[in-house]
Structures are given as C-alpha cells and as structure tokens.
Amino acid sequence: MEKTMTTTLGLFTKSLVGFFKDLYETFPEEREIKLSLEAIEGAKKVNPRLVLDLFYENVYKPLRDPILEENEEVIISYVKQKIAVQFNELSPAIMIFDKHWDDLSDTSRTAIWKHLKVLILLAEKAKTA
C-alpha cells in the first residue's frame, strides 16, 4: 500500500512541476512562476508530502469543484479574495486566471483546465491512498 502512495505522490509532484514548467514557458515574464517552480522542485526532493499538503489546502479544498466544472468566475473571485493576501508557492498558477485568462487562446485554456483536473484527481488519490 505504501508503494502505491509513493507512486501516486510521485505522479502528483511530477505533474505539478510539469504544470509550472508549462506556465513558465507560456508566461516567461512572470518571475513569480519561475520562483515557485524552483521552490516546488526543491520541496519535491526534500519533502514531496509537503508539496501535496500545500496544494491540498490551498487549491484542492477551496477550488476542487470549480476546477472540475471549469468555473473561472469562482476561481477569479477566490484569487482576488484569498490568494492576493495569502501568497504561497502555488499562487502564481491560480493568479493566471485573474491576470491572463481573458487573453488566453481556447487551446491554452483547455490545457490549463486539463492540468488542473489531473492535479485535483492525483491529489485526491494521494491523500486517500
């Protein structure tokens, strides 16, 4: 059972790093994304459970349903109310909804939704495994 947890946790952290790399390639001007990517990569090596817990508390719990429903209005509202005053390593990923969402192509939006949905599902499995 522990092996499954490690595998699921490993998939989650790998997916989260991949998401941040994609965001950085899309928004190279957003220095916070690069800094967050570096912090997540470092934490992944030292304590991957911490990365999962951070995502679970700051993204999964408040935004699971809006992400699965692709409800950007709820996410933007959350960003303005919570993330703006409580910055953490995951904030830049969610802040793109407020800063860049209107300018993104449908292809980019679809890719972001897919990344977030995979992360939600992997976080769920890693937490319950």
16-68 per-position pLDDT tens digit: 999 999 999 999 998 989 999 999 999 999 999 999 999 999 899 999 999 99
**Look-up of token digits 């949905």:** 117
State the pLDDT at residue 7. Answer: 86
Mean pLDDT, the chain, whole residue set: 89
State the pLDDT at residue 79. Answer: 83
Q: Domain ranges in the chain?
A: 2-128
pTM of the model: 0.86
The band of 4, judged by pLDDT with boundaries at 50, 70 and 90, is very low
Give the residue from 8, 27, 29, 7 showing the smallest Cα distance to 19.
27
**Residues 36, 67 contacting (CB under 8 angstroms):** no
